[in-house]
């Protein structure tokens, strides 16, 4: 073979160097622009990465080369472990295509007679719904491990601030202290949030370090939507008894909540209420007692 053919078929020529760079800073880059290069362990020890010149001993395992031969007769290279690790973490997180979206695309393919799912983007442009979670919709994935939901929860919590400084609702940063497996399925009491102090108006009149401790529940639906509800005992019926998804009506989760609500309603609330009224009337004086007795007699006569 001639030198030209060997050069054309070599691996160094096959590595692309075609995406222009505006500047050398790569901390702001969102996607890689140069090929990530690695080498075997023994070759790395000798500094042999397949380039024109050997490189010194470096700790990183993945590099990208801007120039093999610069003006100073050195290889201009830098680490590219950032993107390599990101790709690996993406697969470790277990993201998969949203099944409902895949089914929708299949139906659209049958209706329109197109052959490729990528062609649908040219025909249809779905409008963006406000109630959907942009973080997941952007990537077209659903669910994943709980770790990926942590930054979403931090950015969405907006509890009432019950301090002397102000009664206006405002956005506060919440720190997640603990979570357990029940959160993934029920969304009940899985997280404990502690809201740190944010404002100090006066030296002696500031609120405590932790204004309040609040338990919050969240549910991740199959379409990637996230639902956050501050949880408190007496408000159980108003917050969690009404499902917002059709598939949630007949689910085990909803039945459990309904049972809890019924059990709470069957307690002795009205009797205690009446007893309170009786005590209130009997306390002041004997004449009031007589009136109470007369009222009781009237009730008996009515019945």
Partner 1 sequence: MPKFNANGLLRSFAAEMKKPWTAESLWYETVAKHPPTFQYARRIVPLYDPNKVKSRGKRLRKSMYQPQEIQWPEDKLRKRFYRDHPWELARPQIIAENDGNDQQYCDWSHMDQPRKALSGESVVQRTLWLIENSNMPVENAYDQARKEFYHLRAEQEIQQRVAHDQAQALGAVFTKSDLELGYEMDQNALNSWFDNASQYAEANRTKFTDPSVDISKTTQ
Taking the complex as a whole, how short is the minimal distance between the CB of residue 127 and partner 1, in angstroms?
Answer: 26
9 sits near partner 1 (criterion: CB under 8 A)? yes
* Interacting positions 111-140 with partner 1 (CB under 8 A): 116
What are φ and ψ of residue 136, in 5° steps?
-90, -40
Residues 284/287/288/293 CA torsion (nearest 10 deg): 140
Kindly state the tokens that stand for 161: 């601030």
258 in contact with partner 1 (CB under 8 A)? no
Residue owning tokens 């709470």? 264
CB 131 → partner 1: shortest distance, Å?
A: 28
Q: Which is nearer to partner 1, 35 or 258 (CB)?
A: 35
The residue within the footprint of partner 1, chosen from 26, 74, 93, 165 (CB under 8 A), is 93
Q: Are 197 and 211 in contact (CB under 8 A)?
A: yes
> Minimum CB separation from partner 1 for residue 209, in Å?
4
Q: Report CA dihedral (66, 68, 70, 75) to the nearest 10 degrees.
A: 90
CB count in 10 Å sphere of residue 218: 21
Of the candidates 260, 253, 163, which has an alpha carbon nearest to the alpha carbon of residue 208?
A: 163
The answer to whether residue 49 forms part of the interface with partner 1 (CB under 8 A) is yes
Closest approach, Cβ 106 to partner 1, in A, equals 16
Q: Which residues bind partner 1 (CB under 8 A)?
A: 6-16, 18-19, 31-40, 43, 48-51, 61-62, 80, 83-89, 91-93, 116, 145, 147, 150, 175-177, 194, 196, 203-206, 208-209
């Amino acid at each position: 073979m001639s030198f030209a053919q060997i050069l054309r078929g070599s691996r160094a020529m096959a590595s692309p160097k075609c995406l222009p760079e505006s500047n050398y800073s790569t901390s702001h880059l969102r996607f890689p622009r140069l090929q990530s290069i690695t080498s075997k362990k023994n070759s790395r020890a000798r500094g042999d990465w397949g380039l024109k010149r050997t490189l010194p001993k470096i700790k990183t395992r993945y590099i990208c080369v801007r120039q093999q031969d610069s003006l100073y007769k050195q290889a201009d290279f830098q680490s590219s472990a950032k993107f390599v690790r990101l790709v690996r973490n993406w697969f470790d997180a277990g993201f998969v295509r949203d099944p409902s979206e895949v089914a929708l695309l299949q139906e659209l393919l049958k209706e329109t007679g197109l052959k490729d799912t990528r062609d649908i983007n040219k025909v249809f442009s779905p409008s963006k719904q406000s109630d959907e979670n942009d973080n997941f919709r952007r990537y077209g994935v659903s669910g994943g491990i709980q770790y990926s939901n942590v930054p979403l929860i931090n950015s969405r919590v907006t509890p009432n601030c019950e301090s002397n400084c102000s009664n206006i609702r405002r956005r506060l940063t919440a720190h997640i202290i603990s979570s357990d497996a029940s959160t993934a399925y029920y969304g009940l009491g899985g997280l404990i949030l502690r809201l740190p102090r944010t404002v100090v108006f006066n030296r002696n009149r500031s609120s405590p370090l932790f204004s309040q401790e609040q338990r919050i529940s969240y549910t991740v639906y199959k379409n990637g939507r996230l639902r956050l509800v501050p949880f408190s005992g007496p408000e159980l019926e108003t917050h969690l008894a009404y499902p917002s998804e059709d598939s949630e009506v007949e689910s085990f989760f909803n039945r459990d909540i309904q049972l809890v609500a019924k059990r709470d309603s069957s307690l002795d609330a009205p009797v205690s209420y009446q007893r309170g009224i009786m005590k209130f009337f009997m306390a002041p004086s004997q004449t009031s007692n007589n009136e109470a007795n007369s009222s009781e007699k009237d009730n008996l006569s009515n019945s």
